[in-house]
Structure 1
Amino acid sequence: MANDKTPAYEAPPLEDAHHSDEVSIGKGDILGQEHVDPVLNAKMHMVNNAIDEIGMTGYQWRLFVLNGFGYAVDSLILLIQSIIATYAAYEFQPSFAYGLTIAVYVGMLVGALFWGLSADIIGRKYAFNISLLLSSVFCIVAGASNSWVLLGFFVCMSAFGSGGNLVLDTAVFLEYLPSKDQWLLTLMAAWWGAGQLVAGLLAWAFLPNYSCPGDPAKTGVPCNWHTNPGWRYVWFSSGALVLVMSLARITVIRLRETPKFLVGEGRDEEVVETLQWIATKYHRPCSLTLQGLQECGVTAAGPGGEGGRRGSVPAHARKRFSFAEVWTHVRGLYATRRMALSTSLIWFSWLLIGLAYPLYNVFLPTYLATRGAALGGLSQSDQWRNYAVANLCSIPSPILAGLMCRSPWFWGRRGTMIIGALVTMAFFFAYTQVKSNAENLGFTCAIGFCLNIYYGTLYAYTPEVLPSAHRGTGNGIAIGLNRLMGIMSAIVATYANTSTPVPIYVCAALYIVMAAVAACFPFEPMGSRSS
């Protein structure tokens, strides 16, 4: 329990920081005025000051790359299952064509919840090191599947690792970032586009030349490992790439537990040791001391501080591996009225994008194929070339979004999401009117570019406005809801014709709602620091 001398925490004046991200030390913390735990707020402010004092180092830049791998793998596996599903179905003749789509989203749903909750219970670094390695193993063995059910299981398990890893990518990177560089969290979504590009290139390289010509019942050509190895090559290549990425995470950097997780746990000594280690390694100043942290008092999670202070919210239940622990973290996300509104709107946004994204992107190969046929016909090679080019356009958009996020001209993160959603909606409506293959490719590229302005910003905004002690849970539930709607999209596709423009109209309408929700977000990270 905190001593009686613990002062009420007050954030310092922003000194016009709300107009720019350039001001660093002395900024207010996003949740600093919510008064959930005054001692934790005071300590978090000191930790933020220390991180800002150290600044951007090689440690954070390596995290940018290594955490970006998680983004890339998530999009890679998500798209590969949709790319190879038709060719694998030629071989296995399944009764349910969209089984792989449901398998990948179930894996990502369970992974997001499992790894997200575990990150708040046992820490970030274990999930960071394990999840991607797990994904690579099942990604490789998926290529050796001898039945549709077995393929679905391996796809599900590979998605379990990658989908859970995605929850940690933003949290780990954010909790080491200086506040003036928090916009890099949005830019990191460019790795998502890189994963999409790799998926498109692998499809273009293997599927046109190493696949059977079609359904054996119609072509008379048998479809087996020898005549249809293309989809297996895609999985083998992807798995090998993911394995290299997972090994790089272990060898390139020895991840330490994030200081913001440690301060929420009341482990002040480790907080100071971690930040002083980074400062010493990169010859940077760091004035944070153990005495300074301890003078603030004891947090609700620290020894003797299990929610003992009036109005405080504990970081853990008495038994960490229990339903009470989950409830404790969920309750922490709703500790105040503004936090409750923020959490609810964020989760609703993830539900919306969870339906809109797969309706368009996961089923895009089907729509492109039928659209290409209607516009004069395209060879398989041309179809997959166009698919790779469209995915290439997903890389620069998060870079633009990152620059927009730090500019007051675009109303920060919220304004960037509003603009991205509305421009995407406009291109969706226009896309249904294309009359040539060139227009088809052009509008597909434009949608891929604009869509990731919104998506990449939402990925970054979510952890920025969540409290550190409950960030993994909040992020995991958000992405879990996204995956749940992905499962629903597969069910919709089973009973609807995805070769028609109807899914495009539905997506356009959903983006209008997303823009309206973004305008209602109560917190704006620009000019403030994550807690």
Structure 2
Amino acid sequence: MPAGEYYGTALERASDDPVDDSEVELNRMISNIGFGKFHRRILGLCGLGWLADNMFMQCIACILPRVQQHFSVSNGQIGLMSSSMFLGLTGGALMWGLLSDRFGRLVAYHWTLVVSAVFAMLASFAPSFGVFCACLFGLGTGVGGNMPVDGAIFLEFIPREKRHLLTLLSVFFSFGSVLTSVLALAILPPFSCPDDSQGCDVGKLNNGWRYLMATLSLVTMAMVVLRNGWFSLYESPKFLLQQNRRSDVIIVLKKIVMFNGGTTKAVATSPRSGDHSDGQDVADFESSLISPQINQSSDDIARPPSLSSSDDMSWLEWPEDIEEPGRPASRPQAKSIQSRIRGALDFRSHMRSLEPLFTPELRRTTVLIWLIWSLVAMGFTMFNVFLPKFLESRSAPGAQQQQLAAGSHSKQTAVYRDALIYAVSGIPGSILGAWMVDTRLGRIYSMAISTFFAGLALITFAMTAKTHVAWLTTMSSSVFGLTSSLMYAIIYAYTPEVFHPSVRGTACGIASAMGRVAGIIAPLVAGMLLEVSTTLPMYLSVALLWMSAASMVALPIETRDIAT
């Protein structure tokens, strides 16, 4: 079956309703509005959520040795630190994804970073390892909702012709790692116990990890101010359409046009002849104002041609008695809160929301997407867990070790410097992904090729690691950083594209959660394999990545030319 026909049938099943003209018309209207200042701003603001995700993940990797030393945690128990974070990420991805499909995208958009900032600050004051892990669980719960929800928000506002820009959100993901690596290089060595740490007073000399957590909490709070104070985001028009709130859809689209300067790519045409009944849906009338046939000036958009008295509503004006999306109602607020609480706790309703993902048309796609997220996360995390440990233990014996004078932090500085180089190498991959997805390769083959070459880079790294040649190790890890960033950029773009808006938050949330579960298992497996060989975890990572590449090729829906 052709991809377009296949996908259209799948959408009908996924939404329990035929893909009617309103969805087609909404996609046309979004395309007519074009890509302007509003869309560039939400690209940046949604990107902050992705930045926060990897910022804190990199933070955990950087501070793990310092926390282990501070609380005298054994090697067998230190894994609880990353496991607590990943457990929170798993729960957060599931919770925020479900809530965004039930109550709107703005719920997660407004609160995920707030939760993250609060628990990050609490973690910086943790008096014990147990309390610290509990705070990391709370931190993960907040951070876990950023990627699935923010990606869906950006996708649902931009025209189909600009959907390749979704991969640019991964640039923010890479910058999150870079930001943490820079701060770690500046904060951790001078405020941590020296390399020769015998007799170090951890209460006075080993608080760099606390300073780093507090700094990242303040950075996240600044993001909250930008997202909630500097710019007020509107509810997703596609979510509003799924809730049959068509008047609100028109309000949102008009506000976008005004924010962009009051111009669109296309123009209004005359409304249909005949009288409009007072009960006619606003969207039915307003949708006739947009036609992709010809281009005209912005003055033609400002006010449509003749309007009857019952529909006297200009293109850039809306009646004051229609409440703005996202604003609470004045009187029924208490009832609304109670119903939302009951809905959030309705487990059976949440389970029913999964049924559209397993219709005959979508079952294969759903299973493959979740499998890809699990395999990629397992293979990638195994290497990331291995990398810091290898960097700290790769120093050759003899002259290099003798250079570590008492009170020196040179070894720590070298480790965080190499981690920074690895993080920076991922930035070009995200940018390259934005170009590749619109080539003849499309999403699927671009994703598969980048994953295959990520596996090749890991094999090269495993071979060069045995040579103790620093520049070869750094170069091969940088190549893996570039290809893995390219791989993730396309995965993150393809996943929300392939699911219908009615189930997008749930599907992406579960995919992200399965990746987080794999992240919990990966360090445990890698730890056991390291007892056998230092390169065995990397070869297993290669096998997992190549299995995921094969799964990518088996995906039945190419989303490059599909509007969703």
Same-fold call, TM > 0.5?
yes
Q: How does 1:13-412 map to 2 (within 5 A)?
A: 31-34=7-10, 35-36=12-13, 37=16, 39-95=18-74, 96-213=77-194, 219-224=198-203, 226-282=204-260, 283-285=262-264, 290-292=283-285, 321-335=345-359, 337-373=360-396, 379-408=411-440, 411-412=441-442
Give, in whole Å, the separation in 2 of the partners of 1:38 and 1:332.
11
Q: What CA distance in whole angstroms lies between the structure 1 residues aligned with 2:367 and 2:286? A: 33
Unaligned runs of 5+ residues in structure 2 are 270-281, 289-339, 402-409
Partner of 1:11: none
In the other structure, the counterpart of 1:505 is 539
Task: Check if 1:419 corresponds to 2:449.
Answer: yes
Deviation per residue, 1:272-308 (Å, 9 max, x gap): 221122123321247596125899xxxxxxxxxxxxx
CA distances 1:2-37 after superposition (whole Å, capped 9, x unpaired):
xxxxxxxxxxxx9xxx9xxxxxxxxx6983243335
Change (3 A) 1:211 1:319: closer
Counterpart Cα distance in 2 of 1:374 and 1:164 = 45
Alignment size in residue pairs: 478
Maintained 8 Å contact 1:168/1:472: yes
SS at match of 1:525: coil
Paired letter, 1:414: I
CA offsets 1:328-382 (integer angstroms, 9 cap, x no match): 22111123x2311111100000111121121112332112222344796672212
Preserved contact between residue 30 and residue 465 of structure 1 (Cα < 8 Å) = no
When normalised by structure 1's length, the TM-score is 0.85
Q: Structure 2 vs 1, CA of residues 265 and 320 (structure 1 numbering), >3 Å: closer, same or farther? A: farther
Q: Is the 8 A contact 1:135 1:162 kept in 2?
A: yes
Residue 433 in 1 paired to residue 463 in 2? yes
- Tell me how far apart the structure 1 counterparts of residues 364 and 7 of structure 2 sit (CA, whole Å): 13
Q: Which range is displaced more, 276-285 or 478-487?
A: 276-285
Question: RMSD in angstroms over aligned alpha carbons?
Answer: 2.4
Task: Work out the CA distance in 1 between the residues paired with 2:379 and 2:526.
Answer: 12
State the TM-score, normalized to the length of structure 2.
0.80
8 Å contact from structure 1 (residues 50, 287) kept in 2 = no
2: CA distance, partners of 1:481 / 1:374: 41
Q: Which amino acid aligns with 2:538?
A: I
Residues 380 and 418 (structure 1), Cα distance of their counterparts in 2 relative to 1, 3 Å cut: same
In structure 2, C-alpha distance between the alignment counterparts of 1:249 and 1:360, rounded to whole Å: 33
How far apart are the structure 2 equivalents of 1:29 and 1:250? 40
Q: Determine whether 1:519 maps to 2:519.
A: no
C-alpha distance in 2 between matches for 1:42 and 1:223: 66
1:422–1:512 Cα contact (<8 Å) kept: yes
Q: Secondary structure at the match of 1:459?
A: helix
The offset of 1:437, in angstroms, is 0.3
Conserved 8 A contact 2:101-2:503: yes
Cα distance in 2, alignment partners of residues 422 and 228 from structure 1? 41
Task: Give the 4+ runs in structure 1 shifted more than 6 A.
Answer: none
Q: Percent identity?
A: 28
Cα distance in 2, alignment partners of residues 154 and 111 from structure 1: 14
Give the deviation of 1:222 after TM superposition: 2.8
Shift in Å at residue 159 of structure 1?
1.5
Per-residue CA deviations over 1:444-484 (Å, capped at 9, x if unaligned) read 11110111111111011100001101111101100000111
